[in-house]
């Protein structure tokens, strides 16, 4: 049994250290057609490095768009 399983940053893929107190984890709940929670959710974890760089909002928009939670919010230049 592992005592500690490190999380990975959803934006960068870096491991989030146990002492990274600036890291956050955000759960976004799935809803049905009436807007009620279904009981399932998607978890995003952001490291303190991403938050300190001011990129967590853009990263959340990008990841949520890729997962189908947002539409026409995040765009990038190709």
pLDDT number for residue 42: 97
How far is residue 47's CA from residue 31's CA, in Å, rounded to a whole number? 27
The residue among 5, 13, 8, 11 whose CA lies nearest residue 59 is 11
Q: Is residue 14 part of a domain?
A: yes
pLDDT profile of the chain (78 residues), mean per 10: 88 95 96 94 97 94 92 68
How far is residue 46's CA from residue 60's CA, in Å, rounded to a whole number? 9
In the numeric block, the tokens 């989030």 are attached to: 16
The residue among 71, 58, 63 whose CA lies nearest residue 43 is 63
> 27: domain range?
7-66
Q: Is residue 11 part of a domain?
A: yes
Q: Is residue 77 part of a domain?
A: no
Q: What ranges in the chain are assigned the alpha helix state H?
A: 48-52, 56-66
Under DSSP, the state recorded for 68 is: T
């Amino acid at each position: 049994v592992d005592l500690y399983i490190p999380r990975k940053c959803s934006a960068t893929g870096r491991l989030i250290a146990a002492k990274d107190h600036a890291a956050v984890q955000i759960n976004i709940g799935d809803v049905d057609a009436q807007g009620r929670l279904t009981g399932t959710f998607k978890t995003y974890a952001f490291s303190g490095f991403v938050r300190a760089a001011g990129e967590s909002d853009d990263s959340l928009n990008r990841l949520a768009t890729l997962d189908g939670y947002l539409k026409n919010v995040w765009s990038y230049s190709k």
